[in-house]
């Protein structure tokens, strides 16, 4: 069972340990844990003309201005997915990683349902003989997961709920792994 889509939290330590349990050929386990973040800060800066966007009176520096235009804090997040297709898409991504790097084991867990800031949302770990393959495969799986696996985030903020827009930077991150670009 290398891929799980579930509401429940997961035990990072136990998952990492399981990848090398009972074998002596694993030299590296690389892992990634994604968390729900409350503050979107300067990443989603509102245009200056946005109604209600007020600069602080003492806002002289760039940072102060950027902060005052920051998106409202995320109070919770709901993850929707496409049961059946999501698991297939993740299986396909793992299979592609296994074809491109020498890896012994892969574990992918993605949570769905309502999550709070600080909650774990996604886990990817790859076991290999050497760190190079483990790091690369782990990052590849995350980049492809973000652009190919059917999950959608809806954020709850003081201003209401809204579906998160896909980010061009995620497409660019996935594009790095296209043939001939490594």
Partner 1 sequence: MEVKILFFAGLREAIGAGSESLALPANVATVGALRDHLAARGEAWSVLATTKNLRAAVNQQMVDADTSIKAGDEIAFFPPVTGG
Binders of partner 1: how many residues, by CB under 8 A? Answer: 29
**Cα–Cα dist 75/149, whole Å:** 24
**Cα–Cα dist 169/53, whole Å:** 25
List the one residue from 121, 127, 137, 138 that touches partner 1 (CB under 8 A).
121
List the one residue from 153, 156, 157, 177 that touches partner 1 (CB under 8 A).
153
List the one residue from 7, 50, 166, 175 that touches partner 1 (CB under 8 A).
166
List the one residue from 41, 68, 147, 157 that touches partner 1 (CB under 8 A).
147
**Cα–Cα dist 140/120, whole Å:** 20
Bridging pattern class, strands 160-163 and 76-81 = unpaired
The distance of closest approach from Cβ of residue 69 to partner 1 in the complex, given in angstroms and rounded to an integer, is: 22
Q: Does 145 bind partner 1 (CB under 8 A)?
A: yes
List the one residue from 58, 62, 165, 182 that touches partner 1 (CB under 8 A).
165
Q: Does 79 bind partner 1 (CB under 8 A)?
A: yes
Q: Does 107 bind partner 1 (CB under 8 A)?
A: no
Q: Identify which range of 35-43, 66-74, 125-133, 161-169 contacts partner 1 by CB under 8 A.
A: 161-169
String of DSSP letters for 84-150:
THHHHHHHHHHHHHHHHS-EEEEEEEEE-EEE-TT-EEEEEEEEESSHHHHHHHHHHHHHHHHHHS-
Q: Does 36 bind partner 1 (CB under 8 A)?
A: no
CA dihedral 118, 124, 130, 133 (to 10 degrees): -120
Beta bridge partners of 5: 110
Q: Which residues bind partner 1 (CB under 8 A)?
A: 34, 79-82, 84-85, 88-89, 110, 121-122, 142, 145-154, 163-167, 170
């Amino acid at each position: 069972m290398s891929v799980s889509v579930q509401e429940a939290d997961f035990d990072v330590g136990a998952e990492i340990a399981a990848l090398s349990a009972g074998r002596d050929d694993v030299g590296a386990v690389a892992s990634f844990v994604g968390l729900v973040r409350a503050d979107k800060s300067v990443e989603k800066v509102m245009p200056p003309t946005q109604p209600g966007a007020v600069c602080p009176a003492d806002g002289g520096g760039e940072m102060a201005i950027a902060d005052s235009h920051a998106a409202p804090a995320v109070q919770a997040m709901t993850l929707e997915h496409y049961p059946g297709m999501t698991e297939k898409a993740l299986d396909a991504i793992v299979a592609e990683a296994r074809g491109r790097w020498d890896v012994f084991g892969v574990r992918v867990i993605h949570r769905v349902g309502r999550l709070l800031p600080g909650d774990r949302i996604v886990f990817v770990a790859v076991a290999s003989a050497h760190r190079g393959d483990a790091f690369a495969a782990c990052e590849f799986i995350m980049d492809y997961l973000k652009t190919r696996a059917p999950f959608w985030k809806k954020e709850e903020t003081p201003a209401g709920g809204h579906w998160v827009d896909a980010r061009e930077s995620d497409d660019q991150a996935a594009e790095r792994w296209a043939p001939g670009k490594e």
